[in-house]
Chain A
Amino acid sequence: MRVGVLCSTKWGTLDMVAQLTTGERQLAIVVLSLVALLGLAMAAAGRADPIGVHGFIVLAICCGLIFVVLGAYYAPEPSPERLEHYYDDPSKVGIVLTMAWAVVGMFLGVWVASLLAWPDLTFDAAWASFGRLRPAHTSAVIFGFGGNALIATSFHVLQRTSRARLPDQFSPWFVLIGYNLFCVVAATGYFMGVTQSKEYAEPEWYADIWLVVVWVTYFAIYIRTLARRKEPHIYVANWYYMAFILVVAILHIVNNLAVPVSFGHAKSYSVFSGVQDAMVQWWYGHNAVAFFLTAGFLGMMYYYLPKRAGRPIYSYRLSIISFWGITFMYMWAGSHHLLYTALPQWVQTLGMTFSLILLVPSWASAGNALATLNGAWHKVRDDATLRFMMAAAVFYGLTTFEGSFLAIRPVNSLSHYTDWTVGHVHAGALGWVALITFGSIYCIVPWLWKRERMYSARLVEVHFWLAIIGTVIYVFAMWNSGIIQGLMWRTYNENGTLTYSFVESMVAMHPYYIARAFGGLLFLMGAIVGSYNIWMTIRGEAEVAPESADLPEPRLASAPGE
């Protein structure tokens, strides 16, 4: 599937391969062959086990990519002139993949939302049961959509702010393609029932090990580029991106420590058990929110928002304080996911306290972003791209306020296990993560493909409103349903027994679930409109000859109406 996406793009996969030096082409073939062999070994050892199926998938993808590289293997060496420019091919492919995963992941989201309203939509098929589709949805949007967006933009921002080209042309491809291979293995695994039952860390041991290899390479690219930087000061966005990469590596390795049943089996057992297991999982889970869904996207915000607005960030010092505030404090907040459990009381209190303090650096970032726009509101009004980023900052402020509130023990006793959590998640995931991503993508696409502007400013506007209305409907539906649920579960009658049965609370949810599915559908439609617009922009004619200059044009940053 991925191979198809790569090959059919108009700007030409072969041109991209031809940009690699002969040495890099050879390295690509060697590495792909080795991974293909690994796939073959998995297929042989796994046989009927799901790991065997995964072996074949890995084998097929690697063989496909080998053909892609061979297709341009004898192309002439790239000109040394390329070193005068930044290396953006991986970012371009990363953006296309981001949008592909957005559509797939959000479609799965609308499906699982509909399943809760109309349970028959599972069609009696095991692979389409809620328990399998849900992680496919969460992984596709968080890791597929979010992760690709982070990788693609981080390479872009890193080079611009360091004034240095990426250190080589092979490792960024290894990271991008290796990461997507992980995502494909994860998603296909869920459909087969493969999971280690840790939320947001469902993939099994072999996928986890692969991700470690990819992630270490990713971090190395960052360090190597920074080592070559010509701009002495490391811009704050890079700190956020680096915190994202480094902390995710630590979290991923620790939380996934497990012993496989055998090398031929997908199944493994975690080395942790009981309450320690729960604590490690939510230390991971909450910091995945903090460093995957927040830090990296803050990096995006601190670069693209000032760029687009044509104004420097309001307070650079505040951005540094909030950076260290977030990094120090998020680490301790995970236990708010385990209030009223067997976890020691003091650990719960610690998590609650840090969650409250976290509001300070969180609002410092949101406020910094909004203060940057102060004085440029006419641009926000006229330019939907900038408005995407403004709305994202607002939702970021809203979600973090809500998060700190939900972490208070008595509030959590009402909200926990209810749809309120789901409402909070989506205020964050749709309102913050997705909006900042779309805003950044609408900035970066014309810059990277050397177009004067997006294919259609109207469609950006349409996307903006679909996204906003969808998010608002979604979040309000879940707030209502969550609070009603919470109240119904704790209402007692005069005999001291529960007034409502569980089934009654489910019946009461039905209208909200329909509303939520509708809100999600609007959001999905927005993503489809966005993908079309991006596609047409890519297919359009370049305004400037590619060799001349690496944009961005000053006009783009300030021109209203686009």
Chain B
Amino acid sequence: MNFDHDTVVGFTKSWGLFYLIAMAVGVLIYVFWPSNLERFHAAKKNILDEDDKPWK
């Protein structure tokens, strides 16, 4: 495979698109995975704790 301008452009236009879509789908699956919901709820509540010391 020769590494010229057209090759790079072709690669960018094809794989560049697909990997972005793949990553987006991956993120959406993670976010909406039902068993993760509880973890997200805990995460947003936990920072409001007034306890301000490192845990042991």
Which residues of A does B touch, CB under 8 Å? 83-86, 159-161, 163-165, 230-231, 233, 235-236, 303, 306-307, 310-313, 316-317, 320-321, 324-325, 328, 346, 447, 549-554, 557
Cβ-defined contact, A160 with B52, below 8 A: yes
Complex alpha-carbon distance, A230 and B50, angstroms: 16
Complex alpha-carbon distance, A325 and B23, angstroms: 10
Cβ-defined contact, A316 with B48, below 8 A: no
Cβ-defined contact, B53 with A84, below 8 A: yes
Residues of A within 8 A of B47 (CB): 160-161, 235, 303, 306-307, 312
Cβ-defined contact, A164 with B55, below 8 A: yes
Complex alpha-carbon distance, A306 and B43, angstroms: 12
Kindly report which residue of chain A lies nearest to residue B20, judged by CB atoms: A328
Known contacts A85-B53, A310-B48, A552-B52: A233-B39 contact under CB 8 Å: yes
Complex alpha-carbon distance, A348 and B50, angstroms: 49
Taking a contact as CB atoms closer than 8 A, the residue among A86, A313, A346 that contacts B54 in the complex is: A86
Residues of A within 8 A of B53 (CB): 84-86, 549-550
Known contacts A236-B43, A303-B47, A306-B44: A85-B54 contact under CB 8 Å: yes
Q: Check if B28 is an interface residue, CB within 8 A of chain A.
A: yes
Max chain A CB contacts within 10 Å: which of B20, B24, B30, B48?
A: B48
CB distance from B45 to the nearest CB of A (A): 5
Residues of B within 8 A of A161 (CB): 47
Residues of A within 8 A of B31 (CB): 317, 320-321
Residues of B within 8 A of A316 (CB): 40-41, 43-44
CB distance from A124 to the nearest CB of B (A): 49
Contact-residue size bin, chain B (C-beta under 8 Å from the other chain): 20 to 34
Complex alpha-carbon distance, A236 and B48, angstroms: 14
Cβ-defined contact, B52 with A86, below 8 A: yes
Q: Check if B46 is an interface residue, CB within 8 A of chain A.
A: yes
Cβ-defined contact, A231 with B55, below 8 A: yes
Max chain A CB contacts within 10 Å: which of B24, B41, B43, B46?
A: B43
CB distance from B33 to the nearest CB of A (A): 10
Residues of B within 8 A of A86 (CB): 52-54
Cβ-defined contact, A312 with B52, below 8 A: no
Cβ-defined contact, B46 with A231, below 8 A: yes
Cβ-defined contact, A320 with B54, below 8 A: no
Complex alpha-carbon distance, A551 and B49, angstroms: 11
Kindly report which residue of chain B lies nearest to residue A372, judged by CB atoms: B44
Taking a contact as CB atoms closer than 8 A, the residue among B40, B41, B45, B55 that contacts A230 in the complex is: B55
Residues of B within 8 A of A84 (CB): 53-54
CB distance from A413 to the nearest CB of B (A): 25
Cβ-defined contact, A165 with B43, below 8 A: no
Q: Check if B1 is an interface residue, CB within 8 A of chain A.
A: no
**Would you list 30 pairs from A and B whose C-beta atoms are within 8 A, ordered by A residue?**
A85-B53, A160-B47, A160-B52, A161-B47, A164-B54, A164-B55, A165-B54, A230-B54, A231-B55, A233-B39, A235-B43, A235-B46, A235-B47, A236-B43, A303-B47, A306-B44, A306-B47, A310-B48, A312-B44, A312-B45, A312-B47, A313-B44, A320-B40, A321-B31, A328-B23, A346-B9, A447-B52, A549-B52, A552-B52, A553-B50
Taking a contact as CB atoms closer than 8 A, the residue among A233, A321, A553 that contacts B43 in the complex is: A233
Residues of B within 8 A of A231 (CB): 46, 55
Residues of A within 8 A of B24 (CB): 324-325, 328
Max chain B CB contacts within 10 Å: which of A86, A303, A313, A554?
A: A313
Residues of B within 8 A of A165 (CB): 54
Kindly report which residue of chain B lies nearest to residue A229, judged by CB atoms: B55
Q: Check if B15 is an interface residue, CB within 8 A of chain A.
A: no
Residues of B within 8 A of A550 (CB): 52-53
Complex alpha-carbon distance, A346 and B31, angstroms: 33
Complex alpha-carbon distance, A324 and B20, angstroms: 11
Cβ-defined contact, A163 with B54, below 8 A: yes
Complex alpha-carbon distance, A160 and B40, angstroms: 17
CB distance from A444 to the nearest CB of B (A): 12
CB distance from A331 to the nearest CB of B (A): 10
A161-B47, A311-B48 provided; 11 other pairs, C-beta below 8 A?
A: A84-B53, A85-B53, A163-B55, A164-B54, A230-B56, A233-B39, A303-B47, A307-B48, A320-B31, A325-B24, A557-B48
Cβ-defined contact, A312 with B48, below 8 A: yes
Max chain A CB contacts within 10 Å: which of B20, B28, B46, B52?
A: B52
